[in-house]
Structure 1
Amino acid sequence: MAVPELAPRRTIGGIIAVWAVAAVIGVLVGLFAGDAWRVQWLAVGLGGCLILAFIVQLWSGRSQGFTERVAASALGALAVLGVISLGFGLAAIVPG
């Protein structure tokens, strides 16, 4: 017999935390990586965000919706890093 959860924990906080870490990684890559290595370091940062998404969702201890939460975390991190890399690309075009 399965016992229903009385007060399930909120899961949106873990998803948004991964997005925030992705934004921090993107800014750090922009500050410290050279132009030639920026894309590679963004890919490494996305891989780190994927691992972080698994860790955060496993830590929450809820099995219902695990795949959807990890997917939302990873796709959100991809979108955040994509917008940041778009900014890097536009900044490279503008003469300064």
Structure 2
Amino acid sequence: MSEPALAPRNALGGVIIVWAAALIAAVAIGIFVPDEWRVTWLLLGFGGAVLLSFVLQLWYGQTKGFIFRIAVSTTGALLLLGVVSAAFALAALVPA
């Protein structure tokens, strides 16, 4: 006798969590890290976003669309980190 399948978790939630974590990490790195170390820390932040994306999508437990969800999560995190780092770079050009 088989049991009915439970309603699956929302996969979009995992993607949004990764994006939010990348945004928070990018802003924190931009504020607290010196200019000469910023690129290194942004790369580490992106690596953390990729790992977080895998953890959340594996926790989701649904194989259908796994690669797509990972791609959307990491691409969005990369774009957010790039936009925030570009904003901090432009802000550094403005004379104080």
Counterpart for residue 82 of structure 1: 82
Alpha-carbon offset, residue 7 of structure 1: 2.8
Contiguous gaps of at least 5 residues in structure 1:
none
CA distance in 1, matches of 2:4, 2:85: 43
**Residue identity opposite 1:73 in structure 2:** S
Counterpart for residue 71 of structure 1: 71
Counterpart for residue 53 of structure 1: 53
Contiguous gaps of at least 5 residues in structure 2:
none
SS of match in other structure, 1:36: helix
Alpha-carbon offset, residue 9 of structure 1: 2.4
Q: Aligned residues: percent identity?
A: 51
Q: TM-score normalized by structure 1? A: 0.91
| Equivalent residue pairs, number | 94
CA distance in 1, matches of 2:18, 2:48: 10
Alpha-carbon offset, residue 56 of structure 1: 0.3
Alpha-carbon offset, residue 5 of structure 1: 5.0
**Residue identity opposite 1:29 in structure 2:** I
Deviant stretches of 4+, over 2 Å:
3-9
**Would you tell me which structure has more helix in proportion to its own residues?**
2
